[in-house]
Amino acid sequence: MKRGRKMKRSERLVDFTNYLLNNARKLTTLSFFGQRYGVAKSSISEDLVIIKRVFEETGVGTVKTYPGVSGGVVFTPEISNAQSRAIVSEIADLMRESNRILPGGYIYLSDILGSPKNLKNISKIIAHEYAGKQIDAIVTIATKGIPIAQAVSAILDVPFVIVRRDPKVTEGATLNVNYMSGSSAKVENMTLSKRSLAPGQRVLIVDDFMKGGGTLNGMKSLVHEFDCILAGVAVFAEGPFKGQRLITDYKSILKIEKIDIEKRSIEVALGNIYTNEV
Amino acid sequence: MKRGRKMKRSERLVDFTNYLLNNARKLTTLSFFGQRYGVAKSSISEDLVIIKRVFEETGVGTVKTYPGVSGGVVFTPEISNAQSRAIVSEIADLMRESNRILPGGYIYLSDILGSPKNLKNISKIIAHEYAGKQIDAIVTIATKGIPIAQAVSAILDVPFVIVRRDPKVTEGATLNVNYMSGSSAKVENMTLSKRSLAPGQRVLIVDDFMKGGGTLNGMKSLVHEFDCILAGVAVFAEGPFKGQRLITDYKSILKIEKIDIEKRSIEVALGNIYTNEV
């Protein structure tokens, strides 16, 4: 940023707010801001008190200051339990619309997952679940998992990588695993570019929909084959499934309890993010 | 937002800045802010003068106030020509890395297009190109176009829809078109859920890479079949292509001039967004 003049406090607060919102989860030293605004660190600290108070009162997020040479300030976007439940009940209402039921009992979700507002909200909820954990990359599978994975990646500011069902010439060398589809008990294949992940990275798996958990399980073994560490598995919605799921350690935002094709009704409940709460 | 007390101006500026950044391109009445903060419209106008000055000086965007009953304030994110060129030259440097060349002369781009920072930057440039135009939806094709389309959709706050090469059971009824691949001169098929677009919508087509333009041309005819209006075609990069392209009215951020597999070198130039400037 180039400026010819020194900002007043009121102006500084506008710029400071914008800076923090655009640099979420990053530690920035107070000296950086001191230089940026040409003021003493004490003024920066006073500004931060104001911003912290407003961000916390309005539920935008937390502002934490760490002392010392390697210290600084970190803004972390937050979502309150009430906000989270309000968002999820709004999306659940959308999912209950009877015209979503497709032949074969599938549910049309593309409009919900093609809305930037929904994606932002869904990804805030997922990011919140992993707020305390270190995550280095998001892994998803083409096609429908991509929007959610990308939205979470934007919030956590880490890259996302896309697993495919068939290798593409534009991916270079790939690592492939076979997996058993949980719902149809067929052996399938998934593939990920060898360059996508580095050994030791902490990986969050994200997908749109889970039935038997076979696809998620496949991604888990792929993460393992890359010598990465699984940080978590999150899905937007879990569907009805009879029998033993191939995966148990997942988090879901919504749970589709029942799809009645004849009555054209979809029963949607909160996912285990909400129901497993203490 | 629930607050028990009235905010001071300094606090109001923090909240006001956050509000505008999170409600880009939307008209909000001054009365809304008057009520939100419990102050007279004149105070709101004074706040806006400060925010406008900072946003414009630091290149964040424009803040426009419209008078009258149906008036209000609109924040539009902006990117200056200098910022845009700085971003694009950074990404061009990444693309020139020799280890991106894959067998067959393909280029590995997944890491570039899996980085939230790059996607935000790329989408700012594309959104800027269509700043004055009304756009109701973004259309892209699976898989690699999705991240860019989604990032542009987030900035313009409009939905995005994903064309597929083969219909999926979760999409319901689809509209299909055949198209001629520009590079291989084969007839291919693409498909889009009938529910995706409504007649009369103004559509921006976005993709990651263009060679002969066949895929983009296919999307153009799909948009036409939906009785939608084409608002533009934007690609991240255009590749080298000998002969007549099937499409001429596109905008590109980068242009790959030459890929020398033997020397392992990639010549990358600015796209027509920059070179067609007056």
Q: How many domains does chain B have?
A: 2
Q: Nearest residue of B to residue A155 by CA position?
A: B116
Q: Do the domain assignments include residue A2? A: no
Backbone angles phi, psi at B105, to 5 degrees: 80, 15
B203 and B91 in one domain?
A: yes
The residue out of A26, A43, A77 marking a domain boundary is: A77
Partners of B110 on chain A (C-beta within 8 Å) are 161-162, 170-171, 193, 195-196
Structural domain span for residue A16: 9-77
CATH of the domain at A110: 3.40.50.2020
A94 and A33 in one domain?
A: no
Q: pLDDT of B117-150, one tens digit each?
A: 999 999 999 999 998 899 999 999 999 999 999 9
Asked if A208 and A144 touch (Cβ cutoff 8 Å), the reply is yes
Q: Do A153 and B114 touch (CB under 8 A)?
A: yes
Q: Do A14 and B146 touch (CB under 8 A)?
A: no
Q: pLDDT of B94-125, one tens digit each?
A: 999 999 999 988 999 999 999 999 999 999 99
Backbone angles phi, psi at A15, to 5 degrees: -65, -40
The residue out of B77, B109, B131 marking a domain boundary is: B77
The residue out of A21, A54, A77 marking a domain boundary is: A77
A244 and A129 in one domain?
A: yes
Q: Do A150 and B119 touch (CB under 8 A)?
A: yes
Number of A/B CB contacts below 8 angstroms equals: 169
A28 and A149 in one domain?
A: no
CATH of the domain at B26: 1.10.10.10
B145 and B167 in one domain?
A: yes
Q: Do the domain assignments include residue B253? A: yes
pLDDT for the residue B121:
95
Q: Integer distance in angstroms from the first to the last C-alpha of chain A?
A: 47
A133 and A112 in one domain?
A: yes
Three-state DSSP class for residue B67: coil
Cα–Cα nearest to B55, from A14, A5, A7? A14
pLDDT for the residue A182:
67
B110 and B54 in one domain?
A: no
- If residue B60 lies in a helix (H) or strand (E), which one and from where to where? none
pLDDT for the residue A276:
80
Q: Which of A6, A14, A118, A196 is the best substitution to test chain B (most B C-beta atoms within 10 A)? A: A14
Q: Integer distance in angstroms from the first to the last C-alpha of chain B?
A: 47
Partners of B144 on chain A (C-beta within 8 Å) are 170
Q: Do the domain assignments include residue B1? A: no
Q: pLDDT of B163-191, one tens digit each?
A: 999 888 899 999 999 998 866 778 999 99
Q: Do B10 and A9 touch (CB under 8 A)?
A: yes
Q: Which residue from B59, B109, B169 is facing A104, i.e. has the nearest CB?
A: B169
Q: Which residue from B104, B146, B157 is facing A116, i.e. has the nearest CB?
A: B157
A90 and A21 in one domain?
A: no
Partners of A9 on chain B (C-beta within 8 Å) are 10
Radius of gyration (Cα) for chain B, nearest Å?
22
B250 and B128 in one domain?
A: yes
* Comparison of pLDDT for B246 and B74, the residue scoring more: B74
Say if residue B143 is preceded by a cis peptide, omega within 30 of 0.
yes
A45 and A142 in one domain?
A: no
